[in-house]
């Protein structure tokens, strides 16, 4: 009985092996193996790009006094960066934009001084981004900051 089971298993293994071998030969003859070895491309709907913004100022948790600098390096389309300052509720309280300057080494830098007078909020976020050719925001960087509400003599910069 064991011998019969062993023979049946060997026969099935041989049948499977010859079926696989004939499939491999068929693919080699038709060129299908070349297409099976090619990489699949999956479109997840997200457009990839090389845009970046690296903020050097302000830093996370920094206490900002008016005026404060928003600055850094970038590789963005359009050579304009946009800055939003938001309160803790997410409301935009300041909007600014700045030109990006490219130096002789091909590095692009930006900087904009923002003036404020806050009395109702001592925390918030600074967001810096660019816009691609379709107007979509790209390379968004967000940093949580604190505001020195004791600053006086500054001109408030209203949201535009």
pLDDT tens sequence across 12-39: 555 555 554 454 555 555 554 444 554 5
Q: How confident is the model at residue 117 (pLDDT cuts 50, 70, 90)?
A: confident
Q: What pLDDT, on the 0 to 100 scale, is given for residue 124?
A: 93
Residue 121 lies in a domain: yes
Residue 44 lies in a domain: no
Residue 111 lies in a domain: yes
Number of domains in the chain: 2
User: Cα–Cα distance between 61 and 59 in angstroms, integer?
Assistant: 6
Q: Give me the sign of the Cα torsion angle 12, 17, 18, 20.
A: positive
Domain of residue 131 covers 52-147
* Residues 124 and 90 reside in one and the same domain: yes
* Residues 72 and 102 reside in one and the same domain: yes
pLDDT in tens, 69-78: 999 998 887 7
147, exposed or middle or buried, with CB in 10 Å at 0-12, 13-18, 19+?
A: buried
Residue 47 lies in a domain: no
pTM of the model: 0.61
Least confident of 5-14, 46-55, 91-100, 137-146: 5-14
* Residues 93 and 140 reside in one and the same domain: yes
* Residues 110 and 58 reside in one and the same domain: yes
Is the peptide bond between 67 and the residue preceding it cis, with omega within 30 degrees of 0? yes
């Amino acid at each position: 009985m064991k011998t019969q089971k062993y023979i049946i298993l060997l026969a099935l293994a041989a049948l499977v092996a010859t079926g696989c071998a004939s499939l491999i030969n068929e693919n080699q003859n038709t060129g299908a193996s070349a297409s099976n070895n090619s990489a699949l491309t999956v479109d997840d709907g997200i457009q990839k790009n090389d845009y970046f913004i690296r903020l050097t100022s302000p830093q996370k948790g920094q206490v900002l006094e008016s005026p404060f600098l928003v600055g850094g390096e970038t590789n963005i389309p359009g050579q304009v960066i946009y800055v939003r300052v938001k309160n803790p509720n997410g409301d935009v309280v300041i909007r600014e934009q700045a030109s990006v300057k490219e130096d002789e080494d091909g590095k692009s830098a930006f900087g904009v001084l923002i003036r404020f007078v806050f009395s109702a909020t001592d925390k918030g976020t600074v967001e810096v981004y660019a816009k691609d050719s379709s107007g979509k925001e790209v390379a968004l960087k967000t940093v949580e900051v604190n505001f020195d509400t004791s600053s006086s003599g500054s001109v408030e910069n209203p949201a535009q």
